[in-house]
Amino acid sequence: MLSVIQKNHPDKTAIIADGKSYTYATLANESKQFASFLLDKQSDLNEARVAFMVTAGFDYVKTQWAIWQAGGVAVPLCTTHPLSSLTYVIEDTQAEIIVVSPIFEVILKDLAIAKNIRFIVLENIDKPDIQALPQITSGRRAMILYTSGTTNLPKGVVTTHANIEAQVSTLIQAWEYSENDHILCILPLHHVHGIINVVSCTLWAGGTVEFLPSFSADEVFNWIKSVANSERNGVFMAVPTIYFKLIAHFEHLPASEQEQLTAKMKTFRLMVSGSAALPVSVMEKWEVISGHRLLERYGMTEIGMAISNPYQGERRAGHIGQALKGVSVRLVDEQNKEVATGEAGEIQIKGANVFQEYWQKPAATKDTFTDEGWFKTGDVAVLEDSYYRILGRSSIDIIKSGGYKISALEIEEVLRTYPNVKDCSVVGIDNEEWGELVAAAIVSDDIHLDTQALNKWMREKMPTYKVPRLYKIVEELPRNAMGKVTKNDLKKMF
């Protein structure tokens, strides 16, 4: 994969970060130099795990590419996680090398010393001559990303070079990436969304990735203006919470500035939402202010992207789209039998994009695949007129109450249309009589929101068995780094 990227666009700008621009030739040369440093006169790292805690930008990509070129397995660490979480990943992967940006040295240095792990601080190293680098076969392990974990400890998801290449090449074809693309990366780089969809796909196509160190609505809109004024194809990808914040910021701008921004955003080639369910209300508001109907898709750490609304064609609100080329999708019941069209079932996936294994967890790996090799996602969906509509995660978003299976996401969509409801999340609370009670946490500017009036309104919108029996007004919803509501934490609030 890297050889294709490096030889085709040497003089083009690959990365913009911290006010500096870096060409593909610079990225290729410095990543090879750092690969040689990692090897330290070895011929091959032979899948040694290299954990790295590096700020988003040129150094991040250089480090990732260097690990791959040296034959190592890249283990990106979350830059905002507490030491206990970082320690778990480092110990679980049995990392042999830790690479950090200088600002993270103090966090991990003592751990590296205590465990006798080779510790490398970027900017404090010599640049050696580039040595012969190993030939990397596509079947070798390339990366370990950790799932967020809900009830159990996070598992390390192992992808091979072949898996990554399948994920990248499929998306490039489906979403028509090109060397003229200019994309902004504001997503965490220990997740597949930022690593694959934003960085890897854009660089494979020969485009430019610009990094914003931290989210700022002002900075995002300023970037949009600058790209719109260039001859590049603007591409923007984010999670629903970021679109929610951008909409809120936009609505407080003067009308003249709103008009200018809308005109600029209309020049963009593509805008995508992912990593969490996109509320229809957010999709509709964004379409009004930007002229873009967001492309919603479905993916996981274990599979990259598998289902997507089309780049050309109808992007259906509330739906995740159709299977991507080369990816097989089926919906099954609890007995692993395919369900009829229009019936809800668990999404199962097959394809070259699917991960190899959970790191050193053979039992968990075996349990997540059927005997026929289908990956069990745990997500429930229904197929409606050739488009998949996701109902939620079977363990979290499917509430079993009074004999009914209820989609929390469906209830959330209705709640968001009620006046003064800014955001919400619905969970099932254990109950002896009903199995689970439907409970809703609501973010509202009105701390005295009349939940009785809301409940009466909800009963006019949906069957009584779906209407929440418990309401709680909260200042904000608990979320992880990707903006997903952590519903197990939310349950505790009830």
- Vertex 369, ends 364 and 374: CA angle to 5°? 160
The pLDDT tens digits for 46-62 are: 999 999 999 999 999 99
pLDDT confidence band for 278 (50 / 70 / 90): confident
* Residues 99, 327: Cα–Cα separation, whole Å: 35
pLDDT higher than threshold 80 for residue 395 = no
Least confident window among 113-122, 262-271, 406-415: 406-415
State the pLDDT at residue 48: 98
339, 388 contact by CB (below 8 A) = no
**353: nearest Cα among 136, 209, 137, 197:** 197
pLDDT confidence band for 392 (50 / 70 / 90): confident
User: Which amino acid is it at 118?
Assistant: R
> Quick one: tokens of 377?
């996602």
Architecture of domain 2-136: 3-Layer(aba) Sandwich (3.40)
pLDDT higher than threshold 50 for residue 445 = yes
Question: What is the rounded average pLDDT of the residues 471-480?
Answer: 91
Least confident window among 49-58, 303-312, 389-398: 389-398
The CATH topology of domain 398-492 is GMP Synthetase; Chain A, domain 3 (3.30.300)
In sequence order, what DSSP letters do the residues of 223-279 get, joined into one string? HHHHHHTSSSEEEEEE-HHHHHHHHHHHHTS-HHHHHHHHHHHTT-SEEEE-SS---
Strand partners, 185: 211
**355: nearest Cα among 134, 175, 192, 238:** 192
Question: What is the rounded average pLDDT of the residues 182-206?
Answer: 95
State the pLDDT at residue 294: 97
pLDDT higher than threshold 50 for residue 259 = yes
pLDDT higher than threshold 90 for residue 73 = yes
Question: What is the rounded average pLDDT of the residues 145-150?
Answer: 72
Q: What is the pTM of this model?
A: 0.86
pLDDT confidence band for 152 (50 / 70 / 90): low
DSSP letter assigned to residue 103: G
Domain boundaries, the chain: 2-136, 398-492
pLDDT higher than threshold 50 for residue 209 = yes
pLDDT confidence band for 454 (50 / 70 / 90): very high
pLDDT confidence band for 405 (50 / 70 / 90): confident
Beta strands 233-238 and 270-273 are parallel
The pLDDT tens digits for 332-366 are: 998 999 999 999 999 999 999 999 999 999 999 99
Question: What is the rounded average pLDDT of the residues 30-40?
Answer: 96
User: Which amino acid is it at 24?
Assistant: Y
The pLDDT tens digits for 132-143 are: 999 999 999 999
Question: What is the rounded average pLDDT of the residues 464-471?
Answer: 92
* CB atoms inside a 10 Å sphere around CB 301: 19
* Residues 445, 401: Cα–Cα separation, whole Å: 30
**Placement of tokens 């159709």 in the chain:** 322
> Quick one: tokens of 267?
């020049």
* CB atoms inside a 10 Å sphere around CB 338: 12
151, 393 contact by CB (below 8 A) = no
Exposure class string for 76-113: b at 16+ Cβ within 10 A, else e: bbbbebeeeebeebbebbebebbbbbeebbebbeebbe
**Percent of the chain residues past pLDDT 90, beyond the cut:** 78
pLDDT confidence band for 5 (50 / 70 / 90): low
**Placement of tokens 């090799």 in the chain:** 373
60, 34 contact by CB (below 8 A) = no
State the pLDDT at residue 100: 98
State the pLDDT at residue 386: 95
User: What is the enclosing helix (H) or strand (E) of 489?
Assistant: helix 487-492
pLDDT higher than threshold 50 for residue 381 = yes
**Percent of the chain residues past pLDDT 70, beyond the cut:** 97
pLDDT higher than threshold 70 for residue 101 = yes
State the pLDDT at residue 483: 78
* CB atoms inside a 10 Å sphere around CB 167: 29
DSSP letter assigned to residue 197: I
423, 244 contact by CB (below 8 A) = yes
* Mean pLDDT value across the chain: 92
User: What is the enclosing helix (H) or strand (E) of 410?
Assistant: helix 408-415
**Rg (the chain; Cα; Å):** 23
Question: What is the rounded average pLDDT of the residues 165-190?
Answer: 96
State the pLDDT at residue 150: 45
* Residues 81, 117: Cα–Cα separation, whole Å: 20
pLDDT higher than threshold 50 for residue 151 = no
